């Protein structure tokens, strides 16, 4: 099965809307955050990571977001420019709001946690007036990252982007992206996530994120019922991730393709989702069979969990293909199926 719903005449492949932040990952890992003393700074924020990942896969990517008007905002701009991400719609806060900081705790290869500093946060200051119809229309698809819906004015900006995407026949990709910070209550999560999910052509999320989204409209669905539910709205593809148990993509024709992770010695348990999303979406833009999109996504995800960073360790297509070939040589052709 292939997805060929993108308008190839549009100059950008994907515009992503959401947070750009900073990851601070400990160099002295396998300790608690209280014990770690030394950190490496990376561009962070799930949509920013995905933007870098797709750009490194040679896709043309733009970003709609709000950043702090300080040196950390400069760092985000400089990094996006170095990575070839189009940032004409990445704007600065005017009232001193700060860039999000994510301190990660890497306790073991299987146990990590993230501590997010998101008070008076810059990315949630994105405003409806920052959203431009022509910019959205210049892209084959718009990706909405769920955390952008957590508070106003970013919430209204994201919903305006969804409206304009519908108006301009721009497919919406919804990366549910649940982070507990900034959300007030489960009802708000369900209301705003389902508002976007029901307009989306492609939905990507973990089982927990779908449960949060469906909590009011359709609680208690299993994976196949979940896929059927969103395909009955506008979804063509529903991807449900289950961490190191792997993931499954469901289509509106009733097909499904499951994939396991590629075997790796993980360094951390996070970062896989953004590597997965960027490589999976690359395959979709290349009009690959869904099975091949999943394989590339799963391979990239595995490469990310064995890396120290996220955005900085997003792989090129060549390195992912080499990783897949080496994995198949060592574990067999069907290593991840
Ligand atoms: N320990 C692991 N080893 C290999 N691959 C992994 C591991 N953990 C996760 N992955 C890969 O990463 C993909 C996404 O991971 P997960 O389901 O945790 O999504 P996520 O919560 O969005 O990730 P993130 O932590 O980046 O937010 C998985 O489907 C799997 O392919
Ligand atoms: O999404 C975030 O804000 C945190 C990310 O930057 C971090 O790299 C991570 O947890 C990736 O899944």
Domain membership of residue 320 (yes or no) is yes
Domain membership of residue 2 (yes or no) is no
Rounded Cα distance, 193 and 155, in Å: 11
Which residue is closest in CA terms to ligand 1's atom 18?
243
Statement: residue 153 has pLDDT above 90:
yes
Ligand 1, closest atom to CA 242? 17
Statement: residue 3 has pLDDT above 80:
no
| 42-97 confidence digits (pLDDT tens) | 999 999 999 999 999 999 999 999 999 999 999 999 999 999 999 999 999 999 99
CA distance readout (Å), 13 to 157, 170, 223, 282: 21, 11, 29, 9
- Tell me which residue of 130, 121, 127 sits closest to 88, measured CA to CA: 130
Which residue is closest in CA terms to ligand 2's atom 2?
45
Distance 309 CA to ligand 2 centre (A): 10
Numbers of helices and strands, H then E, in the chain: 10, 13
| 90-145 confidence digits (pLDDT tens) | 999 999 999 999 999 999 888 999 999 999 999 999 999 999 999 999 999 999 99
Statement: residue 258 has pLDDT above 90:
yes
Sign of CA dihedral 126, 84, 55, 236: positive
Pocket test for ligand 1, best of 23, 203, 243, 279 (most atoms within 8 A of CB): 243
Statement: residue 179 has pLDDT above 80:
yes
Q: Which ligand has the minimum distance to the alpha carbon of residue 204?
A: 1
pTM: 0.98
Domain harbouring 324, CATH code: 3.40.1190.20
Put the strands of the sheet holding 39-44 in their side by side order.
39-44, 21-26, 100-106, 112-117
Put the strands of the sheet holding 247-251 in their side by side order.
90-92, 61-67, 12-17, 139-145, 172-175, 202-206, 237-241, 247-251, 256-259
Averaged pLDDT for residues 276-282:
98
The pLDDT score that the predictor gives to residue 109 is 82
Counting the structural domains of the chain, the total is: 1
Rounded Cα distance, 172 and 142, in Å: 5
The response to whether residue 313 sits with its C-beta less than 6 Å from ligand 1 reads no
Domain membership of residue 3 (yes or no) is no
- DSSP H or E run through 16: strand 12-17
Q: Residues 305, 309, 315, CA angle at the centre, nearest 5°?
A: 70
Tokens of 17: 């809307």
Q: ipTM for the complex?
A: 0.96
Q: Which ligand has the minimum distance to the alpha carbon of residue 311?
A: 2
The response to whether residue 260 sits with its C-beta less than 6 Å from ligand 1 reads no
Domain membership of residue 164 (yes or no) is yes
Q: Give residue 306's Cα distance to chain centre.
A: 18
Distance 9 CA to ligand 2 centre (A): 32
| 299-333 confidence digits (pLDDT tens) | 999 999 999 999 999 999 999 999 999 999 999 99
Domain encompassing residue 117:
12-330
Domain membership of residue 40 (yes or no) is yes
Q: Residue 144: which residues within 8 A CB-CB, separation 6 or more?
A: 17, 18, 158, 161, 162, 172, 173, 174, 175, 196, 200
Domain membership of residue 6 (yes or no) is no
Domain membership of residue 42 (yes or no) is yes
Per-residue DSSP letters for 265-313?
--S-SSSHHHHHHHHHHHHHHTT-BHHHHHHHHHHHHHHHHTSS-SGGG
The pLDDT score that the predictor gives to residue 4 is 78
Contact in structure between 138 and 152 (CB atoms under 8 Å): no
Which residue is closest in CA terms to ligand 2's atom 11?
271
Averaged pLDDT for residues 261-275:
93
Tokens of 91: 């704007």
- Tell me which residue of 281, 215, 330, 249 sits closest to 46, measured CA to CA: 281
Rounded Cα distance, 88 and 135, in Å: 9
Question: Which of helix, strand or coil describes residue 145?
Answer: strand
Percent of the chain with pLDDT over 70: 100
The pLDDT score that the predictor gives to residue 2 is 75
| 185-225 confidence digits (pLDDT tens) | 999 999 999 999 999 999 999 999 999 999 999 999 999 99
The response to whether residue 309 sits with its C-beta less than 6 Å from ligand 2 reads no
Domain membership of residue 99 (yes or no) is yes
Statement: residue 182 has pLDDT above 90:
no
- DSSP H or E run through 141: strand 139-145
Distance 47 CA to ligand 2 centre (A): 9
The pLDDT score that the predictor gives to residue 244 is 86
């Amino acid at each position: 099965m292939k997805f060929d719903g993108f308008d190839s005449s549009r100059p950008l492949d994907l515009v992503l809307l959401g947070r750009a932040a900073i990851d601070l990952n400990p160099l002295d890992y396998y300790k608690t955050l209280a014990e770690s003393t030394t950190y490496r700074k990376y561009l962070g924020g799930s949509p920013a990571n995905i933007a870098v990942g797709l750009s490194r896969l040679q896709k043309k990517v733009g970003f709609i977001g709000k950043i702090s008007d300080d040196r950390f905002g400069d760092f985000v701009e400089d990094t996006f420019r170095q990575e070839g991400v189009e940032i004409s719609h990445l704007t600065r806060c005017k009232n001193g709001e700060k860039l999000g900081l994510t301190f990660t705790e890497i306790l073991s290869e299987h146990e990590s946690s993230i501590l997010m500093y998101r008070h008076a946060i810059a990315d949630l200051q994105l405003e409806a007036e920052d959203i431009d119809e022509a910019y959205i229309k210049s892209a084959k698809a718009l990706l909405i990252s769920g955390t952008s819906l957590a508070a106003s004015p970013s919430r209204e900006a994201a919903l305006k982007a969804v409206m304009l995407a519908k108006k301009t026949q721009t497919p919406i990709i919804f990366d549910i992206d649940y982070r507990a910070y900034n959300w007030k209550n489960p009802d708000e999560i369900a209301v705003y996530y389902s508002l976007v999910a029901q307009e989306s052509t492609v939905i990507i999320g973990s089982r927990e994120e779908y449960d949060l989204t469906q909590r009011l409209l359709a609680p208690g669905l299993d994976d196949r019922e979940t896929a059927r539910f969103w395909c009955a709205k506008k979804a063509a593809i529903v991807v449900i991730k289950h961490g190191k148990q792997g993931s499954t993509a469901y289509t509106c024709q009733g097909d499904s393709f499951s994939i396991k992770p590629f075997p790796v010695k993980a360094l951390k348990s996070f970062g896989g989702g953004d590597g997965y999303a960027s490589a999976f979406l690359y395959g979709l833009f290349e009009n690959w069979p869904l099975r091949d999109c999943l394989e590339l996504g799963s391979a990239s995800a595995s490469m990310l969990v064995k890396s120290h960073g996220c955005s900085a360790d997003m792989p090129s297509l060549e390195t992912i293909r080499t990783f897949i070939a080496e994995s198949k040589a060592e574990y067999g052709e069907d290593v991840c199926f």
